[in-house]
A and B are shown apart, each in its own frame.
Chain A
Amino acid sequence: DAGITQSPRHKVTETGTPVTLRCHQTENHRYMYWYRQDPGHGLRLIHYSYGVKDTDKGEVSDGYSVSRSKTEDFLLTLESATSSQTSVYFCAISDRGHNEQFFGPGTRLTVL
């Protein structure tokens, strides 16, 4: 497996609370991504980063923010979690500009 870890692996929280998910890589890859995976929708891109402090929106970015202060860490924050954000979140990395991406193990988030 590529050196990607995600934390926490599971989280249950309540509507309205802030949540931060962390992705950590040891591959020194330039690109990092956050996806969510829901039944019937496949993987959908939330945000991505093309370098330290360089981020951009994906197709489902509303309600999410990201930060990347170091090459190895990419944080996804839900400022005020809603039940519609219950999902499995995957981080991915790439060193070839949106080409082959390598995925982390995922975080299962439940918002009650």
Chain B
Amino acid sequence: EDQVTQSPEALRLQEGESSSLNCSYTVSGLRGLFWYRQDPGKGPEFLFTLYSAGEEKEKERLKATLTKKESFLHITAPKPEDSATYLCAVQLISWGKLQFGAGTQVVVTP
């Protein structure tokens, strides 16, 4: 069965304390992996798409990487405005729709 698992479920960081979120997947043929950010009471906001192992994408303090089994979202020197829930989603070759993980809730305190 295709699965997407995000860890940890929640992460509390001090401002400036870098960390990484994990998205592991067991799927039968990955077409792409997507990262989204979701603020409370809002819809998810698209961040990155990764298509092949070894690929990296960056945006401000965020960097996403992809291996054959998992993806990491690195948050470097986070600020309070980086507080959000981060969602990953996989797109399968066999079924092109997105399958989402449950998310990691990140809180960054000043």
Contacts and interface: CB of A to CB of B under 8 A. Distances in A.
A102 interface: yes
Instruction: Bin the interface of chain B by size.
Output: 20 to 34
Contacts, number: 48
A40 B102 contact: yes
Given A99-B49, A100-B34, A100-B49, A43 B97 contact: no
A98 B89 CA distance: 11
A48 interface: yes
Interface stretch (B40-48, B60-68, B72-80): B40-48
A101 interface: yes
A99 B43 contact: no
Contacts of A4: 43
Contacts of A102: 46
Nearest to A35: B100
